[in-house]
Amino acid sequence: MQKIGFIGMGIMGKPMAKNLIDAGYRVVAYNRGKEALKEIVSYGAKRASSSKEVASQCDVIITMLPNSPDVKKVVLGKEGIIEGVHAGQILIDMSSIAPLVTQEIAKELYAKGVEMLDAPVSGGQEKAQLGTLAIMVGGKEEIFDQCKAILEVMGKPVLVGNIGAGQTTKLVNQTIVAINIAAVAEGLVLGKKAGVDPERIFEAIKGGLAGSQCFTDKAPRMFKGNYDPGFRMKLHVKDLTNVLETSRELHTAMPLSAQVMEMMQTLIADGHTEADHGGLAMFYEKLNNISLKKII
């Protein structure tokens, strides 16, 4: 079975790497944090001491990292992937970063004869564990075809365009998700203020036009007051930062995204950095002096 390099063993990367091991792939892993690396090695991966070492041993390398500077450092920095690659290899970056950074990295790799796909994901920790992530892929069709079986172990990949298109699609996804969660919280708070049980509202409208995956996933969290992270608030702020920076570059007005960004920044200032992004409900609860949490 093919040997795959995997760099980044965070809340998403670790279960994704485990799914590859479960599927029979030989995984060579590297992570800056020692505990996460130790765990994935005990699960069956081979330990590497640097990103360069991963690249020197594997024809396909996957990165799953927090943000654009992290990916640039791991790929292009000292002891980075680019120092260990050879012509014919493929880098699949599954991080969520700025599209222009993806294109910059791809250009440097192409000069070495290395192909690249940008393949950010959506679905959070639960879908990472289940191997059912939505995977938005940018790159050459022939390279996508070569890597499709690998990606299908982790989710449902769709080729959306050339390099950078995957990241652009992820920005669209994160825009819609953020605004959707805010709308769910805003509407449910109105219902509770009016004296109607939010859970009954949820049951009544979830199958109609107001229904969505966000509604189905996040409303029950709001009723429990459970904001343990599936997708951390700080990471959605990072994504919305990329959304708004890209919108300025393209002169695209995005007033709703800007408003939700301010809501999230307020929550982070209140100490909710590590909360799930469904915790947007806390902004509305504080604003309206009401709780959506069911009293048992």
Q: What is the pLDDT of residues 61-114, one digit of tens each?
A: 999 999 999 999 999 999 999 999 999 999 999 999 999 999 999 999 999 999
pTM for this predicted structure: 0.90
Q: What is the 3-state secondary structure (H, E, C) of the chain?
A: CCEEEEECCCCCHHHHHHHHHHCCCEEEEECCCHHHHHHHHHHCCEECCCHHHHHHHCCEEEECCCCHHHHHHHHHCCCCHHHCCCCCCEEEECCCCCHHHHHHHHHHHHCCCCEEEECCEECHHHHHHHCCEEEEEECCHHHHHHHHHHHHHHEEEEEEECCCHHHHHHHHHHHHHHHHHHHHHHHHHHHHHCCCCHHHHHHHHCCCCCCCHHHHHHHHHHHHCCCCCCCEHHHHHHHHHHHHHHHHHCCCCCHHHHHHHHHHHHHHHCCCCCCEHHHHHHHHHHHHCCCCCCCC
Mean pLDDT of the chain: 96
The CA distance from 233 to 274, in Å, is 6
| pLDDT band at residue 184 using 50, 70 and 90 as cut-offs | very high
pLDDT at position 296:
65
* Numbered ranges of CATH 1.10.1040.10 in the chain: 168-288
| Residue 40 contacts residue 17 (beta carbons within 8 Å) | yes
Given a contact cutoff of 8 angstroms between Cβ atoms, the answer to whether 36 and 66 are in contact is: no
Pairing mode, if any, of strands 46-47 and 90-93? unpaired
Distance of alpha carbon 139 from its chain centroid, rounded? Answer: 18
Which CATH class, in words, describes the domain spanning 168-288?
mainly alpha
Q: Which position among 18, 52, 127, 170 bears the catalytic label?
A: 170
3-163 carries CATH number 3.40.50.720: yes
Q: Give the distance, in angstroms, between the CA of residue 97 and the centroid of all CA atoms in the same chain.
A: 9
Q: Locate 82 and state its tokens.
A: 């680019």
18 is catalytic: no
Asked if residue 188 lies in contact with residue 218, where contact means CB atoms within 8 angstroms, the answer is no
Cα 182 from Cα 233, distance rounded (Å): 13
Mean pLDDT of 198-218: 96
What pLDDT digit, counting tens, does each position of 34-64 carry? 999 999 999 999 999 999 999 999 999 999 9
Domain with CATH 3.40.50.720 in the chain: 3-163
**How much of the chain, in percent, has pLDDT values that exceed 90?**
95
